[in-house]
Copies of this chain bind each other. A is one copy, B any other.
Amino acid sequence: MNGAALRRIAVLIEYDGTAYRGSQYQDNGPSIQSELEAAITKLTGDTPRAAFAGRTDSGVHALGQVAAFDSSVRLRPDEFVRGLNHFLPADIAILGAAEVGVTFDPRRRAQMRVYRYRIDTSPVRSALERDRTWHVGRAVDVAAMQRTAARLLGKHDFAAFAGPYEGSTVRTLQRCEVTQDGREVTIEMEALAFLPHQVRRMVGPMTEVGLGRQSEDDVAALLGGVASSAGPAAPACGLYLVRIEYDGLSLAPAEGNGQER
C-alpha cells in the first residue's frame, strides 16, 4: 500500500448481533469488526483496521452502526456497498458508504447516538422475535415508565447506570421516550455519548418500575449514585443501535452510496 493513495471510507452497517461476541474484537469468538475486516481484505486486498463509532455488546443489534477504514483501492462508494455485502455473512449488511476525510474518526466525530430497546409483554414467548426482544411476559405500567423517563432526562451523573468507569460519568440524555404498540413497549434514548452498558442499565430499573417492583423515586434517586448501584442490566437481545448522526455526513441507506457534503 502507498500511504499517499489511501482514502478513508465510512460505512453504515446493520447487523443481527446474536451470533457475535460484540462489535469489536474479542478473544472468544467472532466480532462484527473481524468479519468486516475480513470482507475488506477479500474485496480490496488491503488489511486495514476498522474503527467503530459505537461499541455494542454480544447479542446487541445495529440498524445503523458506523465504521471507517482506509483503502488503497479506487472503488466507488456503491461498489464498496455491493462488494462488502458479497463477502459478509448474511447477518451483517452494509447499507451505505461514503468517502470521508482522511482524519475522520467515527467515534469522536459523532454528534448524536440513538438506541432503541424492545420489550415484549405478551404472556407467551415469541418464536420469530426470540433474540430480538426482551420477553418480560407481563403487562407493564407504561405511564409510570414514561414518568420515570422524564426524570432521567437531561444532564446528570449516570455512574449508577454503569460499571466502574475511569473519567467523568456525567452525560446529557437528550431524549428518553417510552411508547407502546400492542404487546410491545419500546424505549428510545438519544445522547451525544453514553457510558458503557448505560442504556441496558437504565432499561432494567425502568422496567422494574413498569412491573411495580420499584418506584419512580427509587430510580430517580440513583442519579448521582455510586457505580453499578442501579442493579442488573436488561438483556442484550432487546437492544438496537439505531443511528449515529454526524455534521455534514450522510450515509443514508436510501441512496446506498452516501457522500460527505
Contact surface of A with B, Cβ cutoff 8 Å: 14-16, 61, 63, 81-82, 85, 90-96, 122-128, 130-132, 253, 256
Contact = CB atoms under 8 A, between A and B. Distances in A.
A130 B85 contact: no
A16 B93 contact: no
A96 B130 CA distance: 17
A93 B253 contact: no
B92 A127 contact: yes
B14 A128 contact: yes
User: Which 9 A-B residue pairs are closest in the complex by CB-CB distance?
Assistant: A93-B127, A90-B130, A14-B127, A123-B256, A15-B127, A91-B127, A16-B128, A16-B127, A93-B125
A130 B256 contact: no
Contacts of A256: 123-124
Contacts of A93: 124-127, 130
5 contacts: A16-B130, A90-B130, A91-B127, A91-B130, A93-B127
A253 B122 contact: yes
Which of A95, A125, A127: most chain B CB closer than 10 A?
A: A127
Contacts of A253: 122, 124
A16 B132 CA distance: 13
A81 B14 CA distance: 34
A85 B123 CA distance: 12
B85 A128 contact: no
A82 B61 CA distance: 28
A91 B131 CA distance: 10
Contacts of A15: 127-128
Nearest to A93: B127
Contact of A81 (B94, B124, B131): B124
A95 B124 contact: yes
A253 B63 CA distance: 29
A56 to B, nearest CB: 13
Contacts of A95: 124
B63 A128 contact: yes
A72 to B, nearest CB: 24
Contacts of A16: 127-128, 130
Contacts of A131: 90
A96 B253 CA distance: 39
A125 B93 CA distance: 7
A158 to B, nearest CB: 28
Nearest to A130: B90
